[in-house]
Amino acid sequence: MIFCIPILADPVVIPPGGEVYLGEEGLDISYAIPYPYTSIAYFPAGSSPGRDQPLEIMQVSQGRFSVIPDLFYDRTGAWYQWDQVRGMPGQVAFIVRNPRISLKIMDRNTMGDRSFGTVSRGTPLVIQVETNLAGITRRPDFSYNDGPVKIQIKTPEGGTLAGVMTPGGGQYSFSSFIPTGELGYTPPVESGGWDTGWSGYKSGLYKIEPGFTVNRMEDNLWSYHGGYTLRGTEVTLGTERAGLHLSRETVVRGDPFGVTITGSPGVPYIVWVEGGSKTGYPGDQPPMIITSQEGIRQDYPEGPYIIGSYRPYGKSNTIRDLVPLFPHSGVYYYAEVIPDRNGRRTIEFHTSQETDDRRYTIHIEGPAGSANLKSDSIQVQVIKGSVSLSTDDGSYTIGDEIKLKGRNTGSCETYLFITGPNLPSAGGRLDAPRRQVTDGNPGSFTVASGDCETWEYRLFTNDLGIDTGTYTIYAVSAPRDRYHLESSSWQAIPITLKRPYVSVSDKRMTVAQGDELTISGTSGGRTDAGVAIWIFGRNYFWYDTVQTEHGGWFSYDLSVSVTRDMAPGEYYVIIQHPMTNGNFDIWPDRNHETILGTTPWYGAPVFRIAGPGALQGPAAAAALMSALQSQFIDDTYTEYSIFIQSPKIAISSDSLNATTKAPVTLSGTTNLAPGSRLFIEITDEQFGPIPKGKAGGWYGYSGTTSVYPGPKEEREFVFDIPAGTLNEGRYQVFIQAVSSQGTASGILQVTAPVIITPYPTLTTVITPTVILPEKTQKPETIPIEPIKTLLTDKIAEPANKTQNYKTEDGIISGIDRTTREPPVILGFGILLGLCVAGLIATLATWIKRKEKEDAGIEDEHNNNLAKEQQEPDEDADNGT
Distance CA(348)–CA(325), nearest Å, equals 20
For residue 93, pLDDT beyond 90: yes
Hey, which residues does 257 pair with through a beta bridge? 349
pLDDT tens digits along 372-382:
788 999 999 99
Q: Average pLDDT, stretch 28-33? A: 92
Hey, which residues does 184 pair with through a beta bridge? 129
pLDDT tens digits along 537-572:
999 999 999 998 877 888 898 888 888 888 899 999
pLDDT tens digits along 433-443:
999 999 999 99
End-to-end CA distance of the chain: 186
Q: Which string of b and e fits 10-25 if b means at least 16 CB within 10 Å?
A: ebbbbeeebbbbbbbb
Tell the burial category of 145 from Cβ atoms under 10 Å away from its Cβ (0-12, 13-18, 19+): exposed
Q: Average pLDDT, stretch 368-372? A: 78
For residue 758, pLDDT beyond 50: yes
pLDDT tens digits along 435-479:
999 999 999 999 998 888 899 999 988 878 899 999 999 999 889
Which span out of 8-22, 56-70, 515-529 was modeled with the highest average pLDDT? 56-70
CB 163 within 8 A of CB 1: yes
Question: What 8-state DSSP symbol labels residue 331?
Answer: G
What are the backbone dihedrals phi and psi of residue 179, each rounded to the nearest 5 degrees, phi first?
-70, 130
Cα distances (Å, whole numbers) of residue 130 to 18, 42, 232: 20, 28, 11
For residue 273, pLDDT beyond 80: yes
Would you state the pLDDT for residue 756? 66
For residue 325, pLDDT beyond 90: yes
The residue ranking higher by pLDDT, 234 or 860, is 234
Distance CA(728)–CA(656), nearest Å, equals 13
Q: What is the chain's mean pLDDT, rounded?
A: 83
pLDDT tens digits along 146-175:
789 999 999 999 999 999 999 988 999 998
Distance CA(599)–CA(631), nearest Å, equals 10
Distance CA(45)–CA(54), nearest Å, equals 11
Bin 13: left if φ > 0, else alpha if -120 < ψ < 50, else beta.
beta
Would you state the pLDDT for residue 861? 54
pLDDT tens digits along 42-53:
999 888 898 899
Would you state the pLDDT for residue 853? 64
